[in-house]
Amino acid sequence: MRLLENNIQSYDFYIEKENMHDEIAKGLAAPVKTISSKFLYDHRGSELFEMITELEEYYPTRTERSIFNDKIQEITLAVGDVQTLIEYGSGSSNKIKALLHHFTSLKEYVPIDISRDFLFQSSLELAMQFPHITIKAVCGDYTAPLTLPLEPSGKKVIFFPGSTIGNFEPVDVRNFLMKSAQLLDEGDGFLIGVDTKKDLHTLESAYDDKKGVTAAFNLNLLTRMNRELGANFNEEQFEHLAYYNVEKGRIEMHLESQCDQQVIIGEHEFSFREGETIHTENSYKYSIDEFQTMALECGFRPSKVWTDVEEKFSVHYLEK
């Protein structure tokens, strides 16, 4: 643990290089080449994601923010006398900033993210803005076992906005919800943003914008592997691909090889055929009923749900 400011502590539980090399080599050796979306978030990836959230086509951030704004009184009431707020995938911590003013009983905020510099920088800014709250910034992979530095008493609420839960396979959503329930006591809560199913055009343009920012975000993974793993991807020979898989209810992002080619990562060599892809992200969409049913099966009582008028996005409050 390191003390950065009077009211901020940092915990570093993540070792990129080892994890990254082995996981990526395994994913590229599989019959359908796949790399976990968590590797999209190096510092540049986090910056590009922030730019995506401002795009005209990217409705999730704008819509979720409008729900937080419009329903803030009901949300504050549901969250009650929260003392510890844990945020998974906190990124820039932008969304929590708007809520912290209202959660007046809050003593500690525990943001968890894999993007180290981005997390610590955002946490420092937050610590200066909210000097009465202790910030415990945890750099780690929330899909791996993590021992969080929590105070043993008081009401705890987990915050997981941005529909990041959509990046998990449905079976992993269940495991994650059950693991989260174990962290909480009776009466604690889980405030989570979940993207809903909607028309194909709205969905697909959100992941393939006109300015090409999402394409740059996806392709940055190749640049990252070249820099951090000594790979030799030629970024110009891959293209960003995003489409909605209706049967699975998810947006899929891929990097498509534009020709037959070989790529070297350390001592491994991988062959790509023209048109073959690396599957880099899924973003599952859930109806309100679908999500509440999963939550119920995993130890939570769906207590409240808020949406915008068009039901483009949902914010659920689940109670343990």
Ligand X SMILES: C[S@@+](CC[C@H](N)C(=O)[O-])C[C@H]1O[C@@H](n2cnc3c(N)ncnc32)[C@H](O)[C@@H]1O
Instruction: List residues binding ligand X (CB under 6 A).
Output: 38, 41, 46, 49, 53, 61, 89-91, 95, 112-115, 141-143, 161-162, 164
- In the bound complex, what is the minimum distance in angstroms from residue 72's beta carbon to ligand X? 17
| Closest-approach residue to ligand X (CB) | 162
- In the bound complex, what is the minimum distance in angstroms from residue 75's beta carbon to ligand X? 15
- In the bound complex, what is the minimum distance in angstroms from residue 88's beta carbon to ligand X? 7
Nearer to ligand X, 240 or 257 (CB): 240
Q: Check the CA dihedral 87-89-95-98 and report its sign.
A: positive
- In the bound complex, what is the minimum distance in angstroms from residue 141's beta carbon to ligand X? 4
To 5 degrees, how large is the angle CA 226–CA 115–CA 282?
Answer: 80
Burial class (CB in 10 A: 0-12, 13-18, 19+), 212: exposed
Local structure of 110: helix, strand or coil: strand
- In the bound complex, what is the minimum distance in angstroms from residue 11's beta carbon to ligand X? 13
DSSP 306: E
Nearer to ligand X, 162 or 189 (CB): 162
Nearer to ligand X, 113 or 208 (CB): 113
Q: Which pairs from 219-224 meet CB under 8 Å and 24+ separation?
A: 219/255, 220/40, 220/42, 220/44, 220/45, 220/48, 221/35, 221/39, 221/40, 221/45, 221/255, 221/280, 222/255, 223/44, 224/39, 224/42, 224/44, 224/45
Nearer to ligand X, 192 or 294 (CB): 192
- In the bound complex, what is the minimum distance in angstroms from residue 234's beta carbon to ligand X? 26
CB 160 within 8 A of CB 87: yes
Nearer to ligand X, 38 or 320 (CB): 38
Nearer to ligand X, 177 or 263 (CB): 177
